[in-house]
Amino acid sequence: MQMDNDTKELSFIEVPFRCPLPAFCPICGAPAEKSRRVRAWEGIPLVFTYHISVGVPYCRSHYQQLAGLALRQRLAVWGIFAIPLISVLPAISDWDLRWLFWVGCSLSLFCLCLAFYFGMRLSASQGVRIRTQGSWPVYRLCSISLDWNRMVSVLVDKYKKEHPAKA
Ligand SMILES: [Zn+2]
């Protein structure tokens, strides 16, 4: 019985775009200090996509942990493109060094794997999952914490009462 209740509580909640989120960290429940953008998109890349970014409040230590992962991911993405370009430079002055380009390409592939790895770790450790709802002015949100999900439900109900026309 309790189990049924828990799975129901941990389902996705429909949240209007302007509705505030709880001022507590969704991972550990500590009072939140900083907001981080959590992004989600759906659709077909380069054809049509629904893209949203929601500011989720985190405590200081989880904010820093997520910011560190995001920075490493960004460096890896930068490396995918920058390393082959840099590795071709020595060959301009000395053609015998053109083999360095292949080393650069291998390192670039390695960076691609790292970028995927940090991206997966980032989405697994942010404590919330977000889904877009097409062109509707709402998104769907689910956290790993029952209490946090309940707080979101309460805030959404309150928001809908205060803004009946937009709900
Ligand atoms: Zn936390």
What confidence tens digit (pLDDT) does each residue in 101-159 have? Answer: 999 999 999 999 999 999 999 999 999 999 998 888 899 999 999 999 999 999 999 99
Domain borders along the chain are: 1-58+128-167, 60-126
Handedness of CA 111, 116, 121, 123 (dihedral sign): positive
CA 24–ligand 1 middle distance (angstroms): 8
Residues in the chain: 167
Query: What is the tens place of the pLDDT at every residue in 67-77?
Result: 999 999 999 99
Distance 29 CA to ligand 1 centre (A): 6
Give 120 Cα–ligand 1 centroid separation in angstroms: 19
| Cα(39) to centroid(ligand 1), Å | 19
Distance (Å, whole) CA 106 – CA 100: 10
pTM: 0.81
Distance CA 112, CA 115 (A): 5
The per-residue pLDDT for 162 is 93
- Under the banding of pLDDT at 50, 70 and 90, the label for residue 2 is very low
Using the mean position of ligand 1's atoms as its centre, give its distance from the Cα of residue 127 in Å. 9
